[in-house]
């Protein structure tokens, strides 16, 4: 298997509580998060609708969708609040 590394952004661009939207050709819209100095990347589109998660509210390791208030654990990607 070939490993592909893609530069998404600089770490200085991602402050805690402020996710950054990243668009890379041939990849889905991505969101980059800083959670207590650790960096995570998820799909930026909510599973419940076509909302951008980076337009939502980040609190600690949770990102809340701006449309219906559903939420995800940033560290695992697991849905934590209905309707996600």
What would the mean pLDDT of 33-59 be, rounded to a whole number?
A: 95
Residue 22's beta-bridge partner residues? 30
How far separated are the first and last CA of the chain, in Å rounded?
32
What does the domain layout of the chain look like in residue ranges? 16-81
pLDDT band at residue 78, thresholds of 50, 70 and 90?
very high
Cα separation of 8 and 83, whole Å? Answer: 29
Nearest to 19 by CA among 28, 8, 27: 8
Provide the pLDDT for residue 20. 98
Provide the pLDDT for residue 62. 98
Average model confidence (pLDDT) across the chain = 94
Provide the pLDDT for residue 4. 81
Nearest to 19 by CA among 50, 63, 49, 51: 63
Cα separation of 57 and 41, whole Å? Answer: 16
pTM strictly above 0.75: yes
Provide the pLDDT for residue 3. 85
Is the pLDDT at 1 greater than 80? The verdict is no
Residue 5 in tokens: 């590394």
CATH code for the part of the protein at 16-81: 2.102.10.10
């Amino acid at each position: 298997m070939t490993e592909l590394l893609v530069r998404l952004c600089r770490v200085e661009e991602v402050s805690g509580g402020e996710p950054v939207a990243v668009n890379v050709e041939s990849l889905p819209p991505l969101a980059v998060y800083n959670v207590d100095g650790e960096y995570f990347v998820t799909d930026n589109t909510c599973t419940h609708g076509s909302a951008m998660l980076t337009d939502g509210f980040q609190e600690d390791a949770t990102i809340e969708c701006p449309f219906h208030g559903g939420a995800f654990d940033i560290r695992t990607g697991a849905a934590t609040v209905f309707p996600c």
